[in-house]
Structure 1
Amino acid sequence: MNLQNHKNLITEKGFTVIENIFSDEEINKIIHVLENIDTSKETFRKSQDLFAIRQFLKEIPEVKDLIFNENIKTIIKEIFGEKYFAVKSIYFDKPEKSNWYVAYHQDLTISVDKKVDLENFGPWTTKQNQFAVQPPLDILENIYTIRIHLDDTDENNGALKVVPKSHAKGIYRPETINWNVETEEICNVEKGGIMIMKPLTLHGSNRTTNGKKRRVIHIEFSDRKLPEELNWSEKMN
Protein backbone atom coordinates (compact mmCIF):
# COMPACT_ATOMS: atom_id res chain seq x y z
CA MET A 1 0.00 0.00 0.00
CA ASN A 2 1.39 3.38 -0.97
CA LEU A 3 0.00 5.22 2.01
CA GLN A 4 1.87 8.49 1.47
CA ASN A 5 -0.22 9.12 -1.63
CA HIS A 6 -3.42 8.55 0.37
CA LYS A 7 -2.17 10.78 3.18
CA ASN A 8 -1.57 13.56 0.65
CA LEU A 9 -5.08 13.12 -0.80
CA ILE A 10 -6.68 13.41 2.65
CA THR A 11 -4.69 16.58 3.38
CA GLU A 12 -5.51 18.10 0.02
CA LYS A 13 -9.09 16.94 -0.68
CA GLY A 14 -10.34 15.76 2.73
CA PHE A 15 -10.84 12.10 1.79
CA THR A 16 -9.47 9.05 -0.02
CA VAL A 17 -10.61 5.53 -0.94
CA ILE A 18 -8.36 2.50 -0.39
CA GLU A 19 -9.57 -0.81 -1.82
CA ASN A 20 -8.83 -4.39 -0.65
CA ILE A 21 -8.20 -3.66 3.02
CA PHE A 22 -10.30 -6.68 4.07
CA SER A 23 -10.49 -10.04 2.31
CA ASP A 24 -13.90 -11.53 1.46
CA GLU A 25 -13.32 -14.00 4.27
CA GLU A 26 -12.68 -11.22 6.81
CA ILE A 27 -15.78 -9.30 5.69
CA ASN A 28 -17.92 -12.44 5.86
CA LYS A 29 -16.75 -13.05 9.45
CA ILE A 30 -17.79 -9.51 10.42
CA ILE A 31 -21.17 -9.96 8.71
CA HIS A 32 -21.64 -13.26 10.53
CA VAL A 33 -21.20 -11.52 13.90
CA LEU A 34 -23.65 -8.78 12.83
CA GLU A 35 -26.27 -11.28 11.77
CA ASN A 36 -26.25 -12.92 15.18
CA ILE A 37 -26.65 -9.99 17.55
CA ASP A 38 -29.51 -9.14 19.87
CA THR A 39 -31.06 -6.15 18.07
CA SER A 40 -33.44 -5.13 20.85
CA LYS A 41 -30.95 -2.98 22.81
CA GLU A 42 -31.67 0.70 23.24
CA THR A 43 -28.47 1.85 21.52
CA PHE A 44 -29.80 0.22 18.35
CA ARG A 45 -31.93 2.34 16.07
CA LYS A 46 -34.26 0.34 13.88
CA SER A 47 -36.59 1.61 11.17
CA GLN A 48 -37.65 0.59 7.70
CA ASP A 49 -34.98 2.78 6.11
CA LEU A 50 -32.09 2.31 8.49
CA PHE A 51 -30.65 0.06 11.15
CA ALA A 52 -27.89 1.66 13.20
CA ILE A 53 -25.82 0.71 16.22
CA ARG A 54 -24.21 3.53 18.19
CA GLN A 55 -21.14 2.82 20.34
CA PHE A 56 -20.63 -0.10 17.99
CA LEU A 57 -17.25 -1.31 19.29
CA LYS A 58 -18.56 -1.22 22.87
CA GLU A 59 -21.82 -2.98 22.02
CA ILE A 60 -20.31 -5.69 19.80
CA PRO A 61 -16.81 -6.19 21.27
CA GLU A 62 -16.28 -9.45 19.36
CA VAL A 63 -15.85 -7.48 16.09
CA LYS A 64 -12.82 -5.58 17.39
CA ASP A 65 -10.24 -8.19 16.45
CA LEU A 66 -11.86 -8.63 13.05
CA ILE A 67 -11.88 -4.89 12.28
CA PHE A 68 -8.39 -4.04 13.50
CA ASN A 69 -6.49 -6.28 11.10
CA GLU A 70 -2.88 -5.58 10.10
CA ASN A 71 -3.91 -3.31 7.21
CA ILE A 72 -6.06 -1.08 9.41
CA LYS A 73 -3.41 -0.91 12.13
CA THR A 74 -0.81 0.14 9.55
CA ILE A 75 -3.12 2.80 8.12
CA ILE A 76 -3.83 4.27 11.58
CA LYS A 77 -0.14 4.38 12.43
CA GLU A 78 1.19 5.70 9.12
CA ILE A 79 -1.58 8.03 7.96
CA PHE A 80 -2.99 9.27 11.29
CA GLY A 81 -0.09 8.88 13.72
CA GLU A 82 1.32 6.68 16.47
CA LYS A 83 -0.89 8.04 19.24
CA TYR A 84 -4.33 7.84 17.60
CA PHE A 85 -7.16 5.89 19.26
CA ALA A 86 -10.81 5.23 18.41
CA VAL A 87 -13.25 7.78 19.88
CA LYS A 88 -16.58 6.97 18.20
CA SER A 89 -18.05 4.05 16.28
CA ILE A 90 -21.36 3.51 14.47
CA TYR A 91 -22.67 0.71 12.30
CA PHE A 92 -25.07 1.70 9.50
CA ASP A 93 -27.19 -0.81 7.61
CA LYS A 94 -29.10 0.84 4.79
CA PRO A 95 -31.57 -1.79 3.50
CA GLU A 96 -32.27 -2.67 -0.13
CA LYS A 97 -35.39 -0.52 -0.42
CA SER A 98 -34.26 2.38 1.72
CA ASN A 99 -35.57 5.88 1.05
CA TRP A 100 -33.17 7.25 3.64
CA TYR A 101 -30.96 9.98 2.32
CA VAL A 102 -28.65 12.37 4.11
CA ALA A 103 -28.34 16.02 3.09
CA TYR A 104 -24.91 17.63 2.88
CA HIS A 105 -23.39 18.20 6.32
CA GLN A 106 -20.16 18.16 8.32
CA ASP A 107 -19.68 15.87 11.35
CA LEU A 108 -19.43 18.52 14.03
CA THR A 109 -19.89 16.67 17.33
CA ILE A 110 -17.85 14.34 19.47
CA SER A 111 -19.15 11.75 21.97
CA VAL A 112 -18.21 12.43 25.57
CA ASP A 113 -18.93 10.92 28.98
CA LYS A 114 -20.76 13.83 30.66
CA LYS A 115 -22.00 17.38 30.23
CA VAL A 116 -19.65 20.04 31.61
CA ASP A 117 -19.70 23.81 31.15
CA LEU A 118 -16.58 24.52 29.14
CA GLU A 119 -15.61 27.52 27.10
CA ASN A 120 -15.92 26.93 23.33
CA PHE A 121 -17.74 23.60 23.85
CA GLY A 122 -21.36 23.64 22.65
CA PRO A 123 -24.11 23.21 21.66
CA TRP A 124 -24.80 19.95 23.52
CA THR A 125 -27.17 17.11 22.64
CA THR A 126 -28.12 13.85 24.35
CA LYS A 127 -29.21 10.75 22.43
CA GLN A 128 -29.80 7.44 24.18
CA ASN A 129 -27.75 8.46 27.25
CA GLN A 130 -24.95 9.55 24.98
CA PHE A 131 -23.66 13.11 25.39
CA ALA A 132 -22.48 14.84 22.24
CA VAL A 133 -20.96 18.28 21.94
CA GLN A 134 -19.46 20.50 19.28
CA PRO A 135 -15.86 21.04 20.41
CA PRO A 136 -13.44 23.77 19.31
CA LEU A 137 -12.45 23.61 15.65
CA ASP A 138 -8.91 22.37 16.25
CA ILE A 139 -10.24 19.17 17.87
CA LEU A 140 -12.51 18.50 14.86
CA GLU A 141 -9.69 19.24 12.41
CA ASN A 142 -7.57 16.62 14.15
CA ILE A 143 -10.05 13.72 13.74
CA TYR A 144 -9.94 11.06 11.02
CA THR A 145 -12.87 8.83 10.09
CA ILE A 146 -12.57 5.35 8.58
CA ARG A 147 -15.64 3.93 6.81
CA ILE A 148 -15.36 0.18 6.27
CA HIS A 149 -17.60 -1.10 3.47
CA LEU A 150 -19.24 -4.51 3.86
CA ASP A 151 -20.95 -4.20 0.45
CA ASP A 152 -20.06 -2.82 -2.97
CA THR A 153 -21.27 0.76 -2.78
CA ASP A 154 -21.88 3.26 -5.57
CA GLU A 155 -24.20 6.20 -6.24
CA ASN A 156 -27.16 3.81 -6.63
CA ASN A 157 -27.04 2.46 -3.07
CA GLY A 158 -25.97 5.42 -1.03
CA ALA A 159 -22.25 5.93 -1.65
CA LEU A 160 -21.10 9.15 0.00
CA LYS A 161 -21.05 12.25 -2.14
CA VAL A 162 -18.50 14.78 -0.96
CA VAL A 163 -17.32 18.32 -1.66
CA PRO A 164 -13.54 18.09 -2.16
CA LYS A 165 -11.43 20.52 -0.09
CA SER A 166 -14.40 21.61 2.03
CA HIS A 167 -12.61 20.21 5.12
CA ALA A 168 -10.18 23.13 5.02
CA LYS A 169 -12.82 25.86 5.27
CA GLY A 170 -13.78 25.62 8.94
CA ILE A 171 -17.47 25.41 9.79
CA TYR A 172 -19.17 25.39 6.40
CA ARG A 173 -22.95 25.71 6.45
CA PRO A 174 -24.45 23.47 3.73
CA GLU A 175 -26.98 26.11 2.72
CA THR A 176 -24.10 28.41 1.77
CA ILE A 177 -22.44 25.99 -0.67
CA ASN A 178 -21.61 27.89 -3.83
CA TRP A 179 -21.89 25.31 -6.63
CA ASN A 180 -20.29 27.73 -9.08
CA VAL A 181 -17.09 27.21 -7.13
CA GLU A 182 -17.48 23.79 -5.52
CA THR A 183 -17.63 20.36 -7.15
CA GLU A 184 -19.25 17.11 -6.05
CA GLU A 185 -17.53 13.75 -6.07
CA ILE A 186 -19.13 10.31 -5.52
CA CYS A 187 -17.00 7.91 -3.47
CA ASN A 188 -17.61 4.42 -4.86
CA VAL A 189 -16.09 1.78 -2.59
CA GLU A 190 -15.97 -1.96 -3.21
CA LYS A 191 -16.76 -4.54 -0.54
CA GLY A 192 -13.68 -4.84 1.68
CA GLY A 193 -12.49 -1.33 0.82
CA ILE A 194 -12.44 1.72 3.05
CA MET A 195 -12.99 5.42 2.71
CA ILE A 196 -11.02 7.73 4.99
CA MET A 197 -12.25 11.25 5.49
CA LYS A 198 -11.90 14.32 7.65
CA PRO A 199 -15.18 14.97 9.50
CA LEU A 200 -15.27 18.60 8.30
CA THR A 201 -15.53 17.39 4.68
CA LEU A 202 -19.07 18.19 3.51
CA HIS A 203 -20.75 14.88 2.74
CA GLY A 204 -24.17 13.36 2.15
CA SER A 205 -25.78 10.35 0.45
CA ASN A 206 -28.72 9.64 -1.84
CA ARG A 207 -31.60 7.18 -1.59
CA THR A 208 -31.05 3.60 -2.71
CA THR A 209 -32.30 2.93 -6.24
CA ASN A 210 -30.67 -0.38 -7.22
CA GLY A 211 -32.14 -2.67 -4.54
CA LYS A 212 -28.74 -3.40 -2.95
CA LYS A 213 -27.81 -3.20 0.72
CA ARG A 214 -25.25 -0.74 2.01
CA ARG A 215 -23.57 -1.72 5.28
CA VAL A 216 -20.83 0.51 6.64
CA ILE A 217 -18.81 0.61 9.87
CA HIS A 218 -17.90 4.21 10.74
CA ILE A 219 -15.04 4.74 13.24
CA GLU A 220 -13.52 8.08 14.27
CA PHE A 221 -9.99 8.53 15.62
CA SER A 222 -8.21 11.27 17.57
CA ASP A 223 -4.99 11.65 19.55
CA ARG A 224 -6.22 14.50 21.74
CA LYS A 225 -6.85 14.60 25.46
CA LEU A 226 -9.99 16.59 26.22
CA PRO A 227 -9.84 19.47 28.71
CA GLU A 228 -10.41 19.13 32.46
CA GLU A 229 -12.64 16.27 33.56
CA LEU A 230 -14.20 15.63 30.13
CA ASN A 231 -13.47 12.25 28.52
CA TRP A 232 -14.14 10.62 25.17
CA SER A 233 -17.05 8.27 25.86
CA GLU A 234 -15.79 5.51 23.56
CA LYS A 235 -12.02 5.86 23.89
CA MET A 236 -10.38 2.63 22.81
CA ASN A 237 -6.71 2.08 22.04
Structure 2
Amino acid sequence: MNLQHHKNSISESGFTVINTIFSDEEIDKIIHVLENIDTSKETFRKSEDLFAIRQFLKEIPEVNELIFNENIKIIIKDIFGDKYVAVKSIYFDKPEKSNWYVAYHQDLTISVDKKLELPNFGPWTTKQNQFAVQPPLDILENIFTIRIHLDDTDENNGALKVVPQSHAKGIYRPETIDWNVETEKICNVEKGGIMIMKPLLLHGSNRTTNGKKRRVIHIEFSDRELPEELNWSERMN
Protein backbone atom coordinates (compact mmCIF):
# COMPACT_ATOMS: atom_id res chain seq x y z
CA MET A 1 0.00 0.00 0.00
CA ASN A 2 1.40 3.38 -1.01
CA LEU A 3 -0.12 5.56 1.68
CA GLN A 4 1.70 8.85 1.05
CA HIS A 5 -1.04 10.09 -1.28
CA HIS A 6 -3.68 9.37 1.38
CA LYS A 7 -1.57 11.03 4.07
CA ASN A 8 -1.32 14.16 1.91
CA SER A 9 -5.06 14.12 1.19
CA ILE A 10 -5.91 13.96 4.91
CA SER A 11 -3.64 16.87 5.80
CA GLU A 12 -4.76 19.01 2.83
CA SER A 13 -8.47 18.16 2.50
CA GLY A 14 -9.24 16.59 5.89
CA PHE A 15 -10.21 13.15 4.57
CA THR A 16 -9.42 10.28 2.21
CA VAL A 17 -11.12 7.07 1.03
CA ILE A 18 -9.20 3.77 0.72
CA ASN A 19 -11.13 0.82 -0.68
CA THR A 20 -10.43 -2.95 -0.37
CA ILE A 21 -9.00 -2.77 3.17
CA PHE A 22 -11.18 -5.72 4.24
CA SER A 23 -12.05 -8.76 2.14
CA ASP A 24 -15.71 -9.75 1.72
CA GLU A 25 -14.95 -12.70 3.99
CA GLU A 26 -13.61 -10.41 6.74
CA ILE A 27 -16.63 -8.11 6.48
CA ASP A 28 -19.00 -11.10 6.59
CA LYS A 29 -17.33 -12.29 9.80
CA ILE A 30 -17.79 -8.85 11.41
CA ILE A 31 -21.44 -8.78 10.31
CA HIS A 32 -21.94 -12.29 11.70
CA VAL A 33 -20.76 -11.11 15.15
CA LEU A 34 -23.05 -8.06 14.95
CA GLU A 35 -26.07 -10.16 14.01
CA ASN A 36 -25.60 -12.37 17.06
CA ILE A 37 -25.26 -9.84 19.87
CA ASP A 38 -27.67 -9.21 22.74
CA THR A 39 -29.13 -5.84 21.75
CA SER A 40 -30.98 -5.17 25.01
CA LYS A 41 -28.10 -3.33 26.73
CA GLU A 42 -28.70 0.29 27.67
CA THR A 43 -25.59 1.45 25.81
CA PHE A 44 -27.34 0.38 22.60
CA ARG A 45 -29.55 2.99 20.99
CA LYS A 46 -32.48 1.65 18.98
CA SER A 47 -35.04 3.48 16.86
CA GLU A 48 -36.65 2.90 13.48
CA ASP A 49 -34.11 5.21 11.89
CA LEU A 50 -30.93 4.25 13.68
CA PHE A 51 -29.30 1.51 15.70
CA ALA A 52 -26.10 2.55 17.44
CA ILE A 53 -23.66 0.92 19.86
CA ARG A 54 -21.49 3.29 21.88
CA GLN A 55 -18.16 2.08 23.30
CA PHE A 56 -18.35 -0.50 20.53
CA LEU A 57 -14.90 -2.09 20.94
CA LYS A 58 -15.51 -2.54 24.68
CA GLU A 59 -19.08 -3.79 24.30
CA ILE A 60 -18.28 -6.29 21.51
CA PRO A 61 -14.67 -7.32 22.26
CA GLU A 62 -14.80 -10.28 19.87
CA VAL A 63 -14.74 -7.89 16.88
CA ASN A 64 -11.37 -6.41 17.81
CA GLU A 65 -9.18 -9.00 16.12
CA LEU A 66 -11.41 -8.84 13.03
CA ILE A 67 -11.21 -5.04 12.79
CA PHE A 68 -7.50 -4.66 13.47
CA ASN A 69 -6.29 -6.67 10.49
CA GLU A 70 -2.83 -6.17 8.94
CA ASN A 71 -4.05 -3.41 6.59
CA ILE A 72 -5.54 -1.35 9.41
CA LYS A 73 -2.42 -1.79 11.56
CA ILE A 74 -0.22 -0.56 8.69
CA ILE A 75 -2.50 2.44 8.08
CA ILE A 76 -2.47 3.45 11.77
CA LYS A 77 1.31 3.18 11.96
CA ASP A 78 2.16 4.82 8.62
CA ILE A 79 -0.49 7.53 8.41
CA PHE A 80 -1.12 8.34 12.08
CA GLY A 81 2.04 7.34 13.93
CA ASP A 82 3.49 4.77 16.32
CA LYS A 83 1.81 6.03 19.49
CA TYR A 84 -1.78 6.25 18.24
CA VAL A 85 -4.39 4.17 20.09
CA ALA A 86 -8.17 3.84 19.79
CA VAL A 87 -9.93 6.24 22.17
CA LYS A 88 -13.58 6.13 21.01
CA SER A 89 -15.71 3.72 18.97
CA ILE A 90 -19.30 3.68 17.75
CA TYR A 91 -21.24 1.35 15.49
CA PHE A 92 -23.96 2.94 13.35
CA ASP A 93 -26.61 1.00 11.45
CA LYS A 94 -28.71 3.24 9.23
CA PRO A 95 -31.48 0.82 8.14
CA GLU A 96 -32.91 0.54 4.64
CA LYS A 97 -35.98 2.68 5.34
CA SER A 98 -34.16 5.26 7.44
CA ASN A 99 -35.12 8.90 7.26
CA TRP A 100 -32.17 9.75 9.49
CA TYR A 101 -30.69 13.02 8.24
CA VAL A 102 -27.55 14.47 9.80
CA ALA A 103 -26.92 18.19 9.39
CA TYR A 104 -23.40 19.53 8.86
CA HIS A 105 -21.34 19.44 12.05
CA GLN A 106 -17.85 18.85 13.46
CA ASP A 107 -17.06 16.09 16.00
CA LEU A 108 -16.12 18.28 18.95
CA THR A 109 -16.21 15.99 21.98
CA ILE A 110 -14.06 13.22 23.40
CA SER A 111 -15.13 10.41 25.76
CA VAL A 112 -13.50 10.51 29.20
CA ASP A 113 -13.80 8.60 32.45
CA LYS A 114 -14.91 11.39 34.82
CA LYS A 115 -15.87 15.05 35.07
CA LEU A 116 -13.14 17.43 36.25
CA GLU A 117 -12.88 21.20 36.29
CA LEU A 118 -9.98 21.80 33.91
CA PRO A 119 -9.00 24.95 32.01
CA ASN A 120 -10.16 24.91 28.36
CA PHE A 121 -12.21 21.72 28.85
CA GLY A 122 -15.94 22.21 28.34
CA PRO A 123 -18.85 22.17 27.85
CA TRP A 124 -19.52 18.76 29.44
CA THR A 125 -22.31 16.26 28.79
CA THR A 126 -23.22 13.03 30.59
CA LYS A 127 -25.21 10.20 29.00
CA GLN A 128 -25.77 6.88 30.77
CA ASN A 129 -22.82 7.56 33.07
CA GLN A 130 -20.59 8.30 30.09
CA PHE A 131 -18.78 11.62 30.15
CA ALA A 132 -18.09 13.68 27.05
CA VAL A 133 -16.29 17.00 26.89
CA GLN A 134 -15.04 19.46 24.31
CA PRO A 135 -11.25 19.50 24.85
CA PRO A 136 -8.75 22.19 23.80
CA LEU A 137 -8.46 22.59 20.04
CA ASP A 138 -5.00 21.02 19.75
CA ILE A 139 -6.33 17.69 21.11
CA LEU A 140 -9.12 17.68 18.51
CA GLU A 141 -6.71 18.62 15.73
CA ASN A 142 -4.57 15.61 16.60
CA ILE A 143 -7.32 12.97 16.32
CA PHE A 144 -7.84 10.72 13.28
CA THR A 145 -11.12 8.91 12.65
CA ILE A 146 -11.44 5.66 10.67
CA ARG A 147 -14.90 4.78 9.34
CA ILE A 148 -15.12 1.13 8.26
CA HIS A 149 -17.93 0.48 5.77
CA LEU A 150 -19.79 -2.82 5.96
CA ASP A 151 -21.94 -1.88 2.94
CA ASP A 152 -21.44 -0.08 -0.37
CA THR A 153 -22.30 3.53 0.43
CA ASP A 154 -23.13 6.38 -1.91
CA GLU A 155 -25.30 9.52 -1.84
CA ASN A 156 -28.46 7.36 -2.04
CA ASN A 157 -27.89 5.58 1.27
CA GLY A 158 -26.35 8.22 3.44
CA ALA A 159 -22.72 8.51 2.34
CA LEU A 160 -20.98 11.33 4.19
CA LYS A 161 -20.97 14.72 2.53
CA VAL A 162 -18.05 16.89 3.60
CA VAL A 163 -16.64 20.39 3.17
CA PRO A 164 -13.00 19.84 2.05
CA GLN A 165 -10.35 21.78 4.00
CA SER A 166 -12.82 22.85 6.71
CA HIS A 167 -10.79 20.79 9.22
CA ALA A 168 -8.07 23.47 9.14
CA LYS A 169 -10.33 26.34 10.19
CA GLY A 170 -10.74 25.66 13.92
CA ILE A 171 -14.25 25.60 15.39
CA TYR A 172 -16.46 26.27 12.38
CA ARG A 173 -20.15 26.98 13.05
CA PRO A 174 -22.17 25.17 10.35
CA GLU A 175 -24.61 28.08 10.06
CA THR A 176 -21.74 30.30 8.91
CA ILE A 177 -20.74 28.14 5.90
CA ASP A 178 -20.29 30.42 2.91
CA TRP A 179 -21.17 28.28 -0.12
CA ASN A 180 -19.69 30.93 -2.43
CA VAL A 181 -16.31 29.91 -1.02
CA GLU A 182 -16.78 26.31 0.13
CA THR A 183 -17.54 23.17 -1.88
CA GLU A 184 -19.33 19.96 -0.99
CA LYS A 185 -17.99 16.49 -1.71
CA ILE A 186 -19.87 13.18 -1.40
CA CYS A 187 -17.66 10.37 -0.07
CA ASN A 188 -18.67 7.10 -1.72
CA VAL A 189 -17.06 4.10 -0.03
CA GLU A 190 -17.23 0.47 -1.12
CA LYS A 191 -18.05 -2.40 1.21
CA GLY A 192 -14.76 -3.31 2.90
CA GLY A 193 -13.35 0.17 2.31
CA ILE A 194 -12.60 2.89 4.83
CA MET A 195 -12.85 6.63 5.03
CA ILE A 196 -10.29 8.41 7.19
CA MET A 197 -11.17 11.90 8.36
CA LYS A 198 -10.21 14.59 10.83
CA PRO A 199 -12.98 15.25 13.39
CA LEU A 200 -12.96 19.00 12.65
CA LEU A 201 -13.95 18.32 9.02
CA LEU A 202 -17.52 19.58 8.54
CA HIS A 203 -19.62 16.54 7.64
CA GLY A 204 -23.22 15.40 7.40
CA SER A 205 -25.37 12.87 5.55
CA ASN A 206 -28.67 12.73 3.70
CA ARG A 207 -31.62 10.41 4.13
CA THR A 208 -31.53 6.98 2.54
CA THR A 209 -33.48 6.84 -0.74
CA ASN A 210 -32.39 3.56 -2.37
CA GLY A 211 -33.56 1.07 0.27
CA LYS A 212 -30.04 -0.13 1.07
CA LYS A 213 -28.41 -0.53 4.48
CA ARG A 214 -25.51 1.62 5.63
CA ARG A 215 -23.52 0.08 8.45
CA VAL A 216 -20.39 1.86 9.63
CA ILE A 217 -17.88 1.31 12.43
CA HIS A 218 -16.48 4.68 13.59
CA ILE A 219 -13.18 4.59 15.55
CA GLU A 220 -11.21 7.62 16.77
CA PHE A 221 -7.47 7.52 17.47
CA SER A 222 -5.19 9.81 19.49
CA ASP A 223 -1.60 9.78 20.72
CA ARG A 224 -2.20 12.30 23.50
CA GLU A 225 -2.28 11.82 27.25
CA LEU A 226 -5.00 13.89 28.92
CA PRO A 227 -4.10 16.27 31.77
CA GLU A 228 -4.14 15.45 35.49
CA GLU A 229 -6.47 12.63 36.53
CA LEU A 230 -8.49 12.64 33.31
CA ASN A 231 -8.40 9.50 31.14
CA TRP A 232 -9.83 8.44 27.80
CA SER A 233 -12.82 6.27 28.77
CA GLU A 234 -12.34 3.83 25.90
CA ARG A 235 -8.58 3.80 25.47
CA MET A 236 -7.43 0.54 23.86
CA ASN A 237 -3.89 -0.20 22.76
Normalised TM-score (structure 1):
1.00
> Hey, what's the Cα distance between the residues in 1 that align with 2:221 and 2:75?
12
Residue in structure 1 matched with residue 143 of structure 2 by the alignment: 143
The superposition leaves residues 127-182 of structure 1 with CA deviations (integer Å, 9 ceiling, x where unpaired) of 12110000000000000000000000000000000000000000000000000000
Q: How does 1:62-211 map to 2 (within 5 A)?
A: 62-211=62-211
- Report the residue type matching 1:94 in the other structure: K
Q: Which moved more, 1:124-133 or 1:134-143?
A: 124-133
> Hey, what's the Cα distance between the residues in 2 that align with 1:19 and 1:151?
12
Moved over 3 A (4+): none
Residue in structure 2 matched with residue 219 of structure 1 by the alignment: 219
Q: How does 1:44-55 map to 2 (within 5 A)?
A: 44-55=44-55
The superposition leaves residues 90-149 of structure 1 with CA deviations (integer Å, 9 ceiling, x where unpaired) of 000000000001000000000000000000000000112110000000000000000000
> Hey, what's the Cα distance between the residues in 2 that align with 1:193 and 1:54?
21
Residue in structure 1 matched with residue 56 of structure 2 by the alignment: 56
> Hey, what's the Cα distance between the residues in 1 that align with 2:109 and 2:134?
4
> Hey, what's the Cα distance between the residues in 2 that align with 1:101 and 1:189?
18
The superposition leaves residues 11-52 of structure 1 with CA deviations (integer Å, 9 ceiling, x where unpaired) of 000000000000000000000000000000000000000000
> Hey, what's the Cα distance between the residues in 2 that align with 1:24 and 1:201?
29
Root-mean-square deviation over aligned CA pairs: 0.3
> Hey, what's the Cα distance between the residues in 1 that align with 2:130 and 2:186?
31
> Hey, what's the Cα distance between the residues in 2 that align with 1:228 and 1:152?
43
Q: Secondary structure of the residue that 2:131 maps to in structure 1?
A: strand
> Hey, what's the Cα distance between the residues in 2 that align with 1:127 and 1:118?
20
The superposition leaves residues 30-83 of structure 1 with CA deviations (integer Å, 9 ceiling, x where unpaired) of 000000000000000000000000000000000000000000000000000000
Shift in Å, 1:215: 0.1
> Hey, what's the Cα distance between the residues in 2 that align with 1:129 and 1:31?
28
> Hey, what's the Cα distance between the residues in 1 that align with 2:179 and 2:193?
29
- Report the residue type matching 1:114 in the other structure: K
Normalised TM-score (structure 2):
1.00
Aligned pair count reads 237
Shift in Å, 1:2: 1.2
5+ residue gaps, structure 2: none
Identity of aligned residues (%): 90
Shift in Å, 1:6: 0.2
5+ residue gaps, structure 1: none
- Report the residue type matching 1:39 in the other structure: T
Residue in structure 1 matched with residue 38 of structure 2 by the alignment: 38
